[in-house]
Chains A and B, each alone.
Chain A
Amino acid sequence: MNAATDSPAAVAAVPAATPAPASRMARAALWVGLAVLIAAPFIGLYPIFMMTALCFAIFACAFNLLLGFTGLLSFGHAAYLGVAAYTTGWLVRSANLSPELGVLAGTLLAGVCGLAVGLIAIRRQGIYFAMVTLAMAQMIYFVLLQAPFTGGEDGLQGVPRGTLFGVLSLANDRALYYVVLAVFVAVFLGIKRIVHSPYGQVLKAIRENEPRAISLGYDVDRYKLLAFVLSTTLAGLAGSLKCIVVGFAALPDAHWSLSGEVVLMTLLGGMGTFAGPVVGAFTIIGLQNFLADRVGSWINVIIGAIFVVCVVAFRRGIVGELNAWQQRRRGR
């Protein structure tokens, strides 16, 4: 058994193509979800928790753009979240930049890092690509560890909330929550747009059968690289926002265990669907939050077990399974 790279059979085993056109039930579910999110601070949900979950939802959506829609597994995605978080944190705290500029800078820098890594990694395929991205991410991690301005093990502490555009004070948890929610909705819709665009169609073609796409004349490396950069940029956006929310940038933000977690969020929620990563992110963050001081290290065991179960028996993820069940019902 050779290391299968992109044999058609192997790739086709990656779950469903573009999600089926949203049924009425699916669309209603999306609206209900949005309504809950909008009402969250009033129905007793802790805003900091919700914002953290939303940031990770953005992270997972960005990751899914690469894995679910382009078929590329990047195993070091947390590095971009971390780079952006530290950049934003330092600019806002020590250079007194306003939050929106800080977030912008962090996001852009994450994209630049993504470009650098992508240029090296994109030549490789399948499992090698994953390994290369992992190792590159480790380099970034160690740079962050050693760089004097990051504070090493202590992290970058005391990042102020600031005022958005000079008018809206973000010190109020609720105000910040709606800003984060707005960004999340924009990212969600933006990814939908990208996937449904002609560019997105080419990505889908590349994911399903790369040799055929090449033979049709597409410069697949360029398309993949662009997807990679987009994905890392959005991952950076998640990191920058998170830094403003918790007032902190720390090493775990860039650690490979977080890279593993985002894979799980996407897998559990449903690769290749739109709502999947969001569902996965909220589930995992919710689990961690709820179980944190109740079960000690069992949380690792639970996360690992979910991984194993998902890979062996539940590859379509929550939303994927729901979609499939929907289709079966309609088909009857």
Chain B
Amino acid sequence: MEIFGIPLQAFLGQLLLGLVNGSFYAMLSLGLAVIFGLLGIVNFAHGALYMIGAYVAWIGMEKLGINYWFSLVTAPLVVGALGVLIERTLLKHLYKIDPIYGLLLTFGLAQIAEGLFREQFGVSGQQYAVPELLQGATNLGFMVLPNYRAWVVLASLSVCLGTWFVIERTRLGAYLRAGTENPALVQAFGINVPVMVMLTYGAGCGLAALAGVLAAPVIQVTPLMGSNLIIVVFAVVVIGGMGSILGSILTGVALGLVEGLTKVFYPEASSVVVFVIMAIVLMIRPAGLFGKEA
């Protein structure tokens, strides 16, 4: 069966791969949106944190024998702690000044992280083994899908929806959202806003690291894995609306699918289609699809 001259098999195959990519986009843009929403910082270091998460998992595996399942917990904790440290020592100086400085600072941090890991590990990347439980593949008829990739989609979407639920439907989330709108008032109510901000940044970093651990068996663990992704993730967040959690999740998945589709018809354009969509969205709805006008 053919759609527009392309066999259905190829179609579905690329769409499914696109869904896998989209799950990563969703997770990463979620973290970015959370951080931007609460701190007003455009966290350029997000890609680097994702990379560090993957390396923590890899180093854990190679040197300490920590297996994949434990890494899903340890990597976000380690990187989250790193995030808290960064927030306390560097970021907190920047809240009162022009947000471009936050962008530039995190850009600098990303460069430092990338440089350190490049120095240590080179550029060509390390292999991370797929955990035994998830090895093997399933023949879906139109393609053979490695089981691990199915797991990635499940895991990341669960995490995304879980985070969305916490932020939009729980009390803690309510404090967070209130803190975004009016920190002084929230502080007057007795909520420790600086601590909340610090932990939020840590949580955002932890989310990035979790995405890194999930990605490790799929792509090689290399110091460049973050910078390859970060610009696309930014575009996703801008399209979704820079403070909107749900927006970033939905847009992330949607864009993964769109990329997959593009690969079927016009593969060379797959890297640029995100930006074209961004340009169009910005012309029609400057605040993004789900964003509120600033």
User: Is chain B in direct contact with chain A in the complex (CB below 8 A)?
Assistant: yes
A residues lining the B interface (CB < 8 Å): 1-5, 9-11, 13-14, 73, 75, 120, 123-124, 126-128, 130-132, 134-136, 138-139, 142-143, 145-146, 256-257, 260, 263-264, 267, 296-308, 310-312, 315
User: Can you list 19 pairs linking A and B with CB atoms under 8 Å apart?
Assistant: A1-B183, A2-B40, A3-B243, A4-B99, A9-B96, A13-B97, A126-B98, A130-B103, A132-B282, A135-B231, A138-B231, A260-B107, A264-B108, A267-B104, A300-B114, A304-B107, A304-B112, A308-B109, A311-B105
- Give the nearest-CB partner of A267 in chain B: B104
Choose one: A13, A123, A134; the contact of B234 (CB below 8 Å): A134
Contacts of A306 in B (CB 8 A): 108
B138 within 8 A of A: no
Which segment, of B8-16, B23-31, B272-280, faces chain A? B272-280
Asked whether, in the complex, the Cβ of A296 is within 8 Å of the Cβ of B275, the reply is no
B78 within 8 A of A: no
- Most central of B94, B231, B286 by chain A CB within 10 Å: B231
Q: Measured between alpha carbons, how far is A112 from B262 in the docked complex, in Å?
A: 28
Apart from A135-B235, A304-B113, 9 more pairs, CB < 8 Å? A14-B98, A120-B283, A126-B100, A127-B103, A135-B275, A304-B115, A307-B105, A307-B107, A308-B108
Asked whether, in the complex, the Cβ of A135 is within 8 Å of the Cβ of B238, the reply is yes
B116 within 8 A of A: yes
Contacts of B180 in A (CB 8 A): 1-2
Which 10 pairs between the two chains have the least Cβ-Cβ distance?
A307-B108, A300-B115, A304-B111, A304-B112, A301-B115, A297-B118, A13-B97, A142-B272, A297-B119, A308-B108
Asked whether, in the complex, the Cβ of A3 is within 8 Å of the Cβ of B238, the reply is no
In the assembled complex, the CB of B100 is this many whole angstroms from the nearest CB of chain A, namely: 5
Q: Measured between alpha carbons, how far is A297 from B180 in the docked complex, in Å?
A: 38
B255 within 8 A of A: no
Asked whether, in the complex, the Cβ of A1 is within 8 Å of the Cβ of B97, the reply is no
Asked whether, in the complex, the Cβ of B111 is within 8 Å of the Cβ of A307, the reply is yes
B101 within 8 A of A: yes
In the assembled complex, the CB of A118 is this many whole angstroms from the nearest CB of chain B, namely: 13
B38 within 8 A of A: yes
B residues lining the A interface (CB < 8 Å): 36, 38-40, 42, 90, 93-101, 103-105, 107-116, 118-119, 179-181, 183, 227, 231, 234-235, 238, 242-243, 268-269, 271-272, 275-276, 278-279, 282-283, 286, 294
Q: Measured between alpha carbons, how far is A263 from B108 in the docked complex, in Å?
A: 11
The secondary-structure label for the interface of chain B is: helix
Choose one: B96, B113, B275; the contact of A138 (CB below 8 Å): B275
In the assembled complex, the CB of B28 is this many whole angstroms from the nearest CB of chain A, namely: 15
In the assembled complex, the CB of B32 is this many whole angstroms from the nearest CB of chain A, namely: 11
In the assembled complex, the CB of A236 is this many whole angstroms from the nearest CB of chain B, namely: 20
In the assembled complex, the CB of A71 is this many whole angstroms from the nearest CB of chain B, namely: 9
Contacts of B118 in A (CB 8 A): 296-297, 300
Choose one: A10, A139, A301; the contact of B98 (CB below 8 Å): A10
Asked whether, in the complex, the Cβ of B108 is within 8 Å of the Cβ of A124, the reply is no
- Give the nearest-CB partner of A73 in chain B: B100
In the assembled complex, the CB of A79 is this many whole angstroms from the nearest CB of chain B, namely: 11
In the assembled complex, the CB of A12 is this many whole angstroms from the nearest CB of chain B, namely: 9
Contacts of B234 in A (CB 8 A): 131, 134-135
Asked whether, in the complex, the Cβ of B119 is within 8 Å of the Cβ of A311, the reply is no
Asked whether, in the complex, the Cβ of A128 is within 8 Å of the Cβ of B108, the reply is no
